Chain A
Amino acid sequence: MERRTIFGGWALPAAFVLPQLLLTIFFFIWPAGQAIYGSLTRQDAFGLKTQFIGLENFEDLLTDPLYVESMGRTVAFCVAVTLISMGVALLLAVFADREIKGRGIYRTLLIWPYAVAPAVAAILWILLLHPQIGMISHGLKALGIAWDYKINGTQAMIVVVLASAWKQVSYNFIFFLAGLQSIPRSVIEAARMDGARGWRRFRTILFPLLAPTTFFLLVVNLVYSAFDTFGTIQAMTQGGPGKSTETLVVKVYRDGVVNLDLGGSSAQSVVLMLGIVMLTVMQFRFLGKRDKT
């Protein structure tokens, strides 16, 4: 889409676009270039010796069983977080869309967690699940479950998934509710006339109409759980015990910042970039298609 009416001259627009452009170049394009260059080299921590080694870092990465494991773990983590947070949000949205008393209050009470920082969400869950002080963990221990996510990897994974999903529910809720509200009442009424009820009405009529929202959220949630959960994981488990909660972003941080393996971590950054480019392209191709229809 292009505008017909435009102003002339180029000095003013150039000045307007310049700050954005400079920031983009210095903080996006240059670092991205550096990451790609760095991924092809081997450097010592001090940057004294830099050798060009071609694709060796990538070779190392992809043959490293731990990296492959971490990839698998990240996928499992993202899928779990996405399913839980979207499922709960959809359920709440469907009921919040009904015409009941106090809808507005429910809505407010359900959207504020959007503002809670991932790292702070972690604190809330630590208070519930911490092996020594957690309220739920006392209950679990009373039931005879040996609850200690600082030692047990499976439990640690459950903990970070719950904390990450909890924080994302309200975002999804907002979108699902908006999606539901944009469905014409007449469609729903018509369905009711047809005698479609409850679950069937939802499955055959509402859910297909929500498909665009669902797809959009799917991508957003995958990106969220892959990247924005760093704060949650770092605050709760730092990737441990063992490596049981070390997702790809946690690994980039550990290898690059803590272990100072600069070549290796640059290669990991490049792999992540490819992943997110794929997700973005997917999203835009889909949105483009939708715009045409």
Chain B
Amino acid sequence: MNGRTDWTAHIVLGIGVALFVLPVWLVFSASTQDAAMIGRGELSFIPGAGLDIYWKVLSEGAPGVAPVWHLLLVSFGMAMSIAIGKITISVLSAYAIAFFRFPFRLLCFWMIFFTLMLPVEVRIIPTYAVMAGFGLINTFTGLTMPLIASATATLLFRQTFLAIPDELVEAARMDGAGPLRFLRDILLPVSAANIAALFVILFVYGWNQYLWPLLVATDSRLDTIVIGIVKMIGADTSVEWNRVMATAVLAMLPPVAVVVLMQHWFVKGLTEGDK
């Protein structure tokens, strides 16, 4: 604007950025410092001893908690399963609902829609009972499966599919494309951007789950990294803060990397998809 620098904007945004970055910087610098020093409250903004602690937590974890590499593995497996599982079943069901007429189509649609109103937190106790009935407590399947069904993703894909011009569908049919080829050659490429956006959102969603894993997996081999951290501070007796902080940094890295690297699709998908 007029070539002048807009100082007010820079100051306000700078403060905003600081509000987000400083706590994280503090966590990082705490992770490199001596546990006893942090415990005494002598925390410094300047990183201390070095990065050995990361190697340490990755390989051995903390008392009562699995090593962090294992926690990361479980979290990664869970986030990926949820993201891929959700996208797959949502694309398929949205395709069926948008392009076919079959008995009880509307009933199916409304049943799926209904799930919008039941976040995990609300149905937690009865879902647990159902899982226990199937013997899925303390299994990886039990950890991921109930989080895979999703109305939002189905609705989003249905919306995208409905927006595809009829001419395109007609042309494909003229070419003799069957329903499967149509899905593969036309629908998937057309919705690639949506899939990418949804992947970011679902990966983060899966990675950050807390209540359900806490309940369904009492076996420490199935602990996710989020659970691991809370367990570390839960053992109130002698919290090794530098370990906790190093683990926190490691817990943040993957989802933040996904969001930052896929920022473009993510922002687009989020603002256009959720409505």
The interface of chain A, by Cβ under 8 A from chain B, is 1, 3-10, 12-14, 16-17, 19-21, 23-35, 38, 88, 91-92, 95-96, 98-101, 106, 108-120, 123-128, 132-135, 138, 166, 169-171, 174-175, 178, 216, 220, 223, 227-228, 230-231, 234-235, 249, 252-253, 256-257, 262, 265-266, 269, 272-273, 276-277, 280, 287
Contacts and interface: CB of A to CB of B under 8 A. Distances in A.
A60 B182 CA distance: 57
B111 A174 contact: no
Nearest to B208: A117
Given A99-B1, A106-B13, A257-B125, A170 B162 contact: no
B68 interface: no
Contacts of A27: 123, 127, 130, 145-146, 149
Interface of B: 1, 5-6, 8-10, 12-13, 16-17, 19-21, 23-24, 26-27, 30, 38-41, 43, 89-90, 92-93, 95-103, 105, 108, 111-112, 114-119, 121-127, 129-130, 145-146, 148-149, 154, 162, 166, 169-170, 173, 179-180, 182, 204, 207-208, 210-211, 214-215, 226, 229-230, 233, 241, 244-245, 248, 251-252, 255-256, 258-260, 263, 267, 270-271, 274-275
A175 B204 CA distance: 18
A68 B108 CA distance: 37
A166 B18 CA distance: 12
Contact of B96 (A16, A101, A132): A16
A12 B183 CA distance: 12
Given A98-B6, A269-B125, A269-B126, 18 more contacts: A7-B99, A10-B101, A13-B97, A14-B96, A17-B96, A35-B125, A95-B9, A96-B13, A100-B10, A106-B13, A106-B17, A110-B13, A111-B263, A115-B256, A119-B230, A124-B27, A234-B211, A272-B122
A100 B1 CA distance: 8
Given A92-B16, A109-B20, A249-B121, A98 B1 contact: yes
Given A3-B99, A88-B16, A114-B204, A276 B6 contact: no
22 contacts: A3-B99, A8-B100, A9-B179, A10-B100, A12-B100, A21-B112, A26-B130, A31-B130, A35-B122, A35-B125, A111-B267, A116-B208, A116-B255, A117-B210, A117-B255, A120-B229, A124-B27, A133-B38, A170-B20, A175-B270, A216-B274, A272-B121
Contacts of B30: 127
Contact of B24 (A124, A132, A170): A124
A29 B43 CA distance: 50
Contacts of A118: 208, 210
Nearest to B227: A119
Contact of B275 (A24, A100, A109, A216): A216
Given A13-B96, A124-B24, A265 B259 contact: no
A276 B122 contact: yes
Contact of A100 (B9, B20, B38, B111): B9
Given A20-B89, A178-B271, A252-B121, A101 B103 contact: no
